[in-house]
Amino acid sequence: MDELDREILEILRRDARTPYTEIAKEVGTSEGTIRNRVEGMVESGVIERFTVATRTGNVKAMVEITVDVNVHTGGLTEQMAEWEQVDFVWQVSGDEDIVLVVDTTDTRSLNELIARAREMDDVVSTTTRLILDEWLG
């Protein structure tokens, strides 16, 4: 993870379909080098995934979850990451312990997801905040 890697990441973050040849031109090296670097970052886990950011007109929300003290959240979080509508699962500091970022087709489906979370044994409470609008950095 040197400066070149960071430059490449910055370009990919804005547009992950930028061809290696064009990235190479932009940062002043060759296609092969970019390819090696990107493959290396995928290999090492620095790049977790190539993905799309969407604005489907769906209902997006943050669901903040509090769990029992002394519960190991590892199992919970991995389970929640499997749920259909979940984009991110974050373990966070602060009053709540887990934040889900979800993208659902409608409020009914959001409600079902919340219900599912509340049914889990170690979940003490949930707070939901609708994401009313979104900008990308």
Q: Which is nearer to DNA, 37 or 60 (CB)?
A: 37
Task: Pick one of DNA, a copy of itself, none as the site partner of residue 45 (Cβ within 5 to 8 A by kind).
Answer: a copy of itself
Q: Which is nearer to a copy of itself, 48 or 121 (CB)?
A: 48
Name the residue type at position 2.
D
Length of the chain: 137
Q: What is the DSSP letter of 115?
A: H
Q: Which is nearer to DNA, 36 or 54 (CB)?
A: 36
Q: Cα–chain-centroid distance for residue 72?
A: 21
* Contacts of DNA in 3-42 (CB under 7 A): 4, 19-22, 29-33, 35-37, 40
Spatial neighbors of 86 by CB under 8 A, at least 6 apart, are 80, 100, 101, 102, 113
In the chain the first and final C-alpha atoms are separated, in Å, by: 21
Interacting residues toward DNA by CB under 7 A? 4, 19-22, 29-33, 35-37, 40
Interacting residues toward a copy of itself by CB under 8 A? 1, 9, 12-17, 45-57, 62, 77-78, 80-94, 99, 127, 129-137
